[in-house]
Structure 1
């Protein structure tokens, strides 16, 4: 069966996650009818033009907001600008798919929630480390099958590389200015760690959680004290615990942008994911290891089917699952809370 046709627009092209979002929607039969961004000269925007030269750009974003034939708006704008785009798109009758973080303050999040309720449209945050990583999908299947018993803890590691061609766009030599200002990118916990918060709730089966401890640091960027290059969170939800560590210290010697790992501890075994690289080990990505009473098993998950974008297309007609919609808000509330209460280390201000 062919994917259902639908029309979408891309508004705000400042982060490289837009490539995965647009690609995912196009593969589901979407027609990209227009693009707009506040800084068309940025490396990411220029790379979008080179990647998809066939799609039209508009000079005024209102031309897209006011187009009632557009079903969905996707955005990977500067994090601090995403809520404004989201709310305007919702209030003009469009569903919204936004890069994480979906908001960087409680005020922004509350406004989005009101707009979702009043518009009847959905707001989906693309937590790509769950939605676009086949090994995470496979791990979820194993957990739901009871392979490792009841999940009692997740350990999520989200290291990133500051200067990385995958995230910078063609021709860029460094990160844009907003990357070094937490008032615009939201802080490392609100930003990167929202991925790991999402996975903690999803794997433990909890609908809410509590931030027990959080901290951020700036240990290697004294000239840009509003940039945070390290962060950690301790979570709890019911009987489950979660520890998260995120950072910008991935060295150039690693063959990818970060050695992202996830360990899921259950009462009858554990699963480890080496999402993007198995250092000094197997080639490729999406490596899954599971250990239980029967022994150890390795699974290559590169070909596991993903369901996020197909689910979005179904949601255009049937609505987003209520629990999934609520988790979007819960994850961002926890991430913003962790950011707000975080102790500061090193040069961080």
Structure 2
């Protein structure tokens, strides 16, 4: 598409191997087109927009750690064949944890990170030996550290596909994002907890907006990088792919 003059927005993970990523980088250099990945756990959740605003305003001081949890419901009976083929879905860290890597880099203000630990396994689906139902990553950068856990263990009683959460720790407080559900609490989505030196409150962030899409349209028209820089997009995917590689070499 880029070689035919098109800018591209892909669903995550965007690519499933480092060789594919290298090819995409080469085509971007050759064509000067935009290759953007829709990291929907940030770009399609208004609570993430509000968290970005609070972090930028210094509401919790300097961000030093993120803890990103990405549980998903398996729904085995409805999954297509490629879901069980490692070479096609890319592994659980490539597929799901790319979201949490994006959030770590974004909220800590990190350009890149070191992967200090990566692990994947298949705890419960031995009939599908290529499937991975659990994974975790530890990241470290000059700005802070991050822990990521992703899994396919969402119980049937939860009224949505996953209780996705993000905790952002700062030197003056913390934020907790309960993106899709607040079990035992308020109905709906986009629940934000803010605790700092002057307040401790729960915020309804459902009206905070989703600026990624309008910014991407602006970038396509103006050849700018207001939605997400190309370097950030590439870095997220490279870290996810390298974490997957590290986990599978153990």
* TM-score, normalisation: structure 2: 0.97
Q: Do the aligned partners of residues 320 and 220 (structure 1) sit closer, same or farther apart at CA in structure 2, a change above 3 Å counting?
A: farther
Unaligned ranges ≥5, structure 1: 1-88, 165-172
Q: For residues 33-60 of structure 1, give each alpha carbon's deviation from its aligned partner in whole angstroms, at most 9, with x where no partner exists.
A: xxxxxxxxxxxxxxxxxxxxxxxxxxxx
Residue 245 of structure 1 pairs with residue 145 of structure 2: no
Q: CA deviation at 1:291?
A: 0.3
Shift of 1:344: 7.8
2:16 aligns with 104
1:320 deviates by 3.8
Q: Offset at 1:187? A: 0.3
2:132 to 228, 232, 236: 228
Determine the C-alpha separation between the residues in 1 that align with 2:162 and 2:140. Answer: 26
Answer yes or no: is the 8 Å Cα contact 1:217–1:344 preserved in 2. no
Equivalent residues in 2 for 1:126-145, closer than 5 Å: 126-145=38-57
Larger RCO, structures 1/2 (Cα 8 Å, 6+ apart): 2
Native 8 Å contact 1:122 1:320 kept in 2: no
**Residue segments in structure 2 that go unaligned for 5+ positions in a row:** none
* Distance change >3 Å, CA 239–CA 312, structure 1 → 2: closer
Per-residue deviation, residues 246-286 of structure 1 (Å, max 9, x unmatched): 00000110000000000000000000010000001110010
What residue in structure 2 maps to residue 35 of structure 1? none
8 Å CA contact 2:109, 2:143 repeated in 1 = no
2:222 is aligned, of 318, 323, 336, to 318
1: CA distance between counterparts of 2:86 and 2:117? 20
2:37 to 122, 125, 140: 125
**Match among 172, 190, 198 for residue 294 of structure 1:** 198
CA shift for structure 1 position 174: 1.3
In 2: Cα distance, 1:344 partner to 1:188 partner: 15
Distance 2:180 2:240 in 1: 23
State the partner residue of 1:114. Answer: 26
Aligned position for 1:53: none
Q: CA deviation at 1:92?
A: 1.0
Counterpart Cα distance in 1 of 2:129 and 2:192? 37
The answer to whether the 8 Å contact 2:92/2:135 transfers is yes
Structure 2 distance, partners of 1:292, 1:177, is: 47
Task: Report the Cα offset of residue 97 of structure 1.
Answer: 0.5
Question: Does 2:176 align with 1:264?
Answer: no
Q: 2:244: which partner in 1?
A: 339
- CA RMSD of superposed structures (Å): 1.4
- Larger Rg, first or second structure (1 or 2): 1
1:97–1:124 Cα contact (<8 Å) kept: yes
- How big is each residue's C-alpha offset from its partner over 1:45-98, in whole Å with a ceiling of 9 and x where there is no partner? xxxxxxxxxxxxxxxxxxxxxxxxxxxxxxxxxxxxxxxxxxxx0111100000
For residues 234 and 224 of structure 2, what CA distance do their matches in structure 1 show?
13
- C-alpha contact (below 8 Å) 1:216/1:344 kept by paired residues: no
In structure 1, the residue corresponding to 2:216 is in which secondary structure? Answer: helix
Count how many residue pairs are aligned between Structure 1 and Structure 2: 249
Q: How far apart, CA to CA, are the structure 2 residues paired with 1:191 and 1:162? A: 14
List structure 1 runs of 4+ shifted beyond 2 angstroms. Answer: none
> Whole-Å Cα distance in 1 between the matches of residues 22 and 244 of structure 2?
17
The equivalent position to 2:184 in structure 1, one of 256, 271, 280, is: 280
